[in-house]
Amino acid sequence: MSLEEDSHRTIARPAGLSGYTPQTYCSVCGKTTVKLPSHPCVSQHCVNSIHTSCLGTETEFDCSKVGSLRKALDITAPVSYVEDTTSAPTQSSDIESSPEDDLAHLLELQPSELVKVIRELRVELSRKNKLISFYSRVSSNISGARDAVVGVLDFIDNIAANHSSLGSLNTRTLASSARPNWIDEEWVNHITTNQDTQDWWTSENPRPLRNTTTAFPPGPRLACPTDQPVACVPGLDASTQLGPDAPREEDVVVL
């Protein structure tokens, strides 16, 4: 081997690339040059070549500049060379790739190289099988949780529907007014419209409280008239039942 041939040794592919070594590849990126525009080295004795896209601003390819070209493409792998004991790729023109070419290339490989190819293919196959298993397991879990997801969506829809209908709800309160005259009017209306309450009111069940917030005015203690559906307290004079000092409704207790 001449000095010029020795200085243009075959450059190895960057470390970390998967798969087997193609018959011809770019000395910078390590990918195949089949069906892709490429340039040979300026030396006629050099077997290295480069993709046109990896050449950058250079017009010619000199394999001694592979390191700087890799750095320009952010490829951190250092430049290394193929050992003499390995089968180095030969310089050839772009040819159509076919299964026969791949088979011929495989037949030219040494047993140790075939073992390396098989091991790399096994690693790639194992990785893909793990991906398929992962996606199958995830899709199965999603399918099993479909009912729970549908239930949560229905619950959210019900909450949204209830929230949107709150403004149209008619609220009704049972609270009575704090004004005494309004309490009397409401009580009279309640007695006249409710027979059970009217029967109770005209009976002797309503009794005065022992202690009231309003003192009983002096006077004869008379029974409540049976025909007077007002806030009557038995034992008070009828003339004082509706007076300003009359006990309020809350002063009457049901026994």
Phi and psi angles of residue 224, each rounded to the nearest 5 degrees, phi first: -70, 135
Q: What is the pLDDT of residue 160?
A: 82
170 has a pLDDT exceeding 80: no
- What is the rounded CA–CA span in Å between residue 122 and residue 128? 10
Q: Which residue has the tokens 């002096």?
A: 218
- What is the rounded CA–CA span in Å between residue 240 and residue 218? 10
243 has a pLDDT exceeding 70: no
Rg of the Cα atoms in the chain: 51
Question: Which residues are CB-contacts of 246 (< 8 A; sequence separation ≥ 6)?
Answer: 180, 214, 231, 233, 236, 240
Backbone conformation region of residue 15, classed left if phi is above 0, alpha if psi is from -120 to 50, else beta: beta
Better-scored residue on pLDDT, 100 or 139 = 139
Better-scored residue on pLDDT, 245 or 199 = 199
pLDDT tens track for 149-161: 788 888 888 888 7
CA dihedral sign of residues 152, 153, 155, 156 = positive
Q: What is the pLDDT of residue 209?
A: 52
Q: What is the pLDDT of residue 244?
A: 47
8-state DSSP, 38:
E
Q: What percentage of the chain has pLDDT greater than the value 70? A: 62
- What value does the mean pLDDT of the chain take? 72
228 has a pLDDT exceeding 60: no
165 has a pLDDT exceeding 60: yes
> What mean pLDDT do residues 204-233 have?
53
* CA-based nearest residue to 43, from 69, 9, 71: 9
- What is the rounded CA–CA span in Å between residue 187 and residue 33? 102
The pTM of this model reads: 0.33
Contact 225, 232 (CB under 8 A): yes
**pLDDT band, very low/low/confident/very high, at 108 (cuts 50, 70, 90):** confident
Q: What is the pLDDT of residue 176?
A: 55
Q: What is the pLDDT of residue 153?
A: 83
8-state DSSP, 225:
P
Q: What is the pLDDT of residue 7?
A: 65
**pLDDT band, very low/low/confident/very high, at 178 (cuts 50, 70, 90):** low
Better-scored residue on pLDDT, 28 or 192 = 28
**pLDDT band, very low/low/confident/very high, at 239 (cuts 50, 70, 90):** very low
**pLDDT band, very low/low/confident/very high, at 225 (cuts 50, 70, 90):** low
Give the DSSP per-residue string, 189-212: HHHHH-HHHHHHHHSS--EE-SS-
36 has a pLDDT exceeding 50: yes
